[in-house]
Structure 1
Amino acid sequence: MKINREEIKNIALLSRLEVPEERMAQMEKALNDVLQYVEELEELDLTDVEPMAHAVQVQNVFRKDEVKPSLDRKLALQNAPEEDNGYFKVPRVIQE
C-alpha cells in the first residue's frame, strides 16, 4: 500500500496539522516506509505467538509490604502550625 500527497494533505487537514510543501516529499517517504514495514510484519506467521501486554517480561520491583514502627504521633505533630485531635489541621480548600 502506498500513500500519495493528496492523502497526506487530507490526513493533515483532518488532523489540523500544517505540512509545508517543502516537507511533503520527506513525509511521503517516511509514511510509505512505515506502511512497507507493516506489510512485512503482516507476512509473519504468528499462530503460535501469545498476545502480550508488554514487549518484555514485566515483574514487580517493589519490596514486600511489611509493617514497621512509624513516627510517633506527637513527634510528627510537634511542628504543625495547627493540630486537631491528633491530626494536622489545614485551611479549607473546598468552598461551599
Structure 2
Amino acid sequence: MITKKDLEHIAWLSRLELSEEDKEKYTPKLNSVLDYFGELDEVDTEGVEPTYHVLQLSNVFRDDEPGVPAVSLSQEEALANAPKKQDGFFKAPRMM
C-alpha cells in the first residue's frame, strides 16, 4: 500500500512537484494499480509459454545479399551544411 509520504518520495525521485490535491488524487490510483498487479500475480501461468512478441515473428530482416551499392555523398556534399568544419571533417565542441 502506497502512503501519501511514499508518493511524495516517488515524486521527489522523479523530480515532480505535486500539489496537495494531486497527492490526494494519485495515492488511491497508484494503490489500485498495485492491487491489480497483485491480482495478476495470482493467475495460474503454469505451462504457459512466455510471450516475447504478440506476433509470431522470428526474423523480419531481409537476407543480406550483395547488390548495387548505395549512392554515397561526396565529402563536400556531406560537409555542405555543417556549421563548423576543419580539415575536411565536422568540427564539434570538446567533450569532457
Same fold (TM over 0.5): yes
Structure 2 counterpart of 1:34, which letter? V
Q: Residues 51-81 of structure 1: CA distance to partner in whole angstroms, max 9, x if unpaired?
A: 3433443333332222224479xxx78x775
Unpaired runs of at least 5, structure 1: 83-89
Give the secondary-structure state (helix, strand or coil) at the position aligned to 2:89: coil
With the length of structure 2 as denominator, give the TM-score of the two structures: 0.60
Measured in 2, the distance between the counterparts of 1:94 and 1:26 equals: 51
Q: Which residue matches 2:81?
A: none
In the other structure, the counterpart of 1:85 is none
Q: Which AA in structure 1 matches 2:35?
A: Q
Q: Unaligned regions of 5+ residues in structure 2, if any?
A: 78-86
Answer with 10-19 or 31-40: which moved more: 10-19
Q: How many angstroms apart in 2 are the aligned matches of 1:71 and 1:32? A: 54
Farther-moved stretch of structure 1 (42-51 vs 32-41): 42-51
| Structure having greater relative contact order (Cα 8 Å, sep ≥ 6) | 1
Residue 94 of structure 1: how far off its partner (Å): 6.9
- Shift of residue 21 of structure 1? 0.8
Greater Rg, structure 1 or structure 2? 1
> Which residue does the alignment assign to 2:20?
21
Task: Tell me: CA distance 1:55–1:33, structure 2 relative to 1, closer, same or farther (3 Å).
Answer: farther
Identity %: 39
Seen in structure 2, the aligned counterparts of structure 1 residues 93 and 43 have a Cα distance that, compared at 3 Å, is same
Secondary structure in structure 2 of the residue aligned to 1:60: coil
